[in-house]
Amino acid sequence: QVQVVESGGGSVQAGGSLKLSCAASGFTFSGFCMGWFRQAPGKEREGVAARYSGGATYVYTDSVKGRFTISQDNAKNTLTLQMNSLIPEDTAMYYCAVFPCAPMAVVASRRSGYWGQGTQVTVSS
């Protein structure tokens, strides 16, 4: 059984940093990708960053490029999201997902794969 568990959310002032972690178990990477998604109140769920092609490619949504960094430890099946220079617009519930490799927008709309319960990130101005 696939399990996905996020941790590391919290509250921070604008300009601050947070690091999210995701621990996944019960699957093998072959045929699957991992990534971070978020959903703010009243908004659609969107892709934030994801790992593709066995780790050869990392994709970021435009609004977080240069501020967020995704990394993965294959041996531990963990995925981290380092978030720097946070802004209030980053406030959302952040979800980690293990999914059949596909574009983030498709995964977000279809909720493909396996998802964690989410961790809240709140950025105050």
pLDDT in tens, the chain (125 residues): 889 999 999 999 999 999 999 999 887 767 789 999 999 999 999 999 999 877 789 999 999 999 999 998 877 788 999 999 999 999 999 999 999 999 999 999 999 999 999 999 999 99
- pLDDT at residue 104, rounded to an integer: 95
- pLDDT at residue 75, rounded to an integer: 72
- pLDDT at residue 99, rounded to an integer: 94
- pLDDT at residue 115, rounded to an integer: 97
Place of tokens 């690091």: 19
Neighbours of 125 (CB within 10 A): 9
| Rounded Cα distance, 16 and 27, in Å | 34
Instruction: Report in angstroms the alpha-carbon separations of 86 from 1, 24, 57, 60, 81.
Output: 34, 26, 24, 15, 12
- pLDDT at residue 76, rounded to an integer: 72
Q: Are 24 and 33 in contact (CB under 8 A)?
A: no
**Cβ-proximal residues to 58 (8 Å cutoff; 6+ apart), any chain:** 49, 50, 51, 52, 70
- pLDDT at residue 23, rounded to an integer: 94
- pLDDT at residue 53, rounded to an integer: 75
- pLDDT at residue 1, rounded to an integer: 86
At 100, list the tokens.
Answer: 């059949």
- pLDDT at residue 43, rounded to an integer: 96
